[in-house]
Structure 1
Amino acid sequence: MVAMLEVTDVSAAACCAPLVREPLGAVDAERLARTIKALADPTRLRLLSIVAASEGQEACVCDLIEPVGLSQPTVSHHLKVLTESGFLTRSKRGTWAYYKLAPASLDEIARTLLAG
């Protein structure tokens, strides 16, 4: 099951100028490429989708291992990449880590790529 990630407010100012208005500068292109690279992995896209489709757009790492069929360390690595890229936030509750969707990061990419 793939959740649709809703992108809101594509008219707001993005950190980078939309691609169709002016060329990206070297620094903006490098930052955007790193961010998009974090999403350019099927497992990360699935994990982001699962978190987005979860109640409150939040999921425990313990609930993310089985759906993707990978070991806990591998899932944790992918979640770390998504967190460092700003797509998820992480909170610790007891021994478990919980990940929550950070929708503003998706909005930023959409504004940069789609706003015209």
Structure 2
Amino acid sequence: MSNAEVLPLLEPDGVAPCCPPLTERPLNAEEAERTAKMFKALGDPVRLRLFSAVASHEGGEACVCDISDVGVSQPTVSHHLKKLKEAGLLSSERRGTWVYYRVEPSVVAAMGRLLATAI
């Protein structure tokens, strides 16, 4: 699954148009499917720790060598990072022998908007 399948084109404000706030209207089937993929990826404690490690790393990106100390083997870390990428939450770039991961800010903003409550 490519990021293009998970992430539709960005809205003018640069935010991925996931879904309206939950308090605005019920999600349709496509919106629920797309949203569930993101939350399912974050539903694993190891994935959530890896996502947090990348998000909080200086500069908003982290080498896999800097974030792999989460109590599981390196192949398992790679598997979890792959799942986060498939959900559209991370992107990556290979530089030499290392892979660097970045949080996709537009997706995080869209998730935040989804959980926002109307005032």
Question: TM-score scaled to structure 1, two decimals?
Answer: 0.81
| CA displacement 1:60-97 (0-9 Å, x = unmatched) | 1112222x021111001111111111211100011111
RMSD: 1.7
Shift of 1:40: 0.7
**SS in structure 2 of the partner of residue 99 of structure 1:** strand
Give the letter for the 2:104 counterpart.
A
Asked if 1:30 corresponds to 2:25, the answer is: no
Aligned length: 104
Q: Which residue does the alignment assign to 2:57? A: 54
Question: How do 1:94-105 and structure 2 match up within 5 A?
Answer: 94-105=96-107
Q: Which residue does the alignment assign to 2:78? A: 76
State the alpha-carbon separation in 2 of the partners of residues 95 and 13 from structure 1: 31
Question: TM-score scaled to structure 2, two decimals?
Answer: 0.79
State the alpha-carbon separation in 2 of the partners of residues 32 and 17 from structure 1: 11
Give the letter for the 2:107 counterpart.
S
Unmatched segments (≥5 aa) in structure 2: 1-14
**SS in structure 1 of the partner of residue 92 of structure 2:** strand
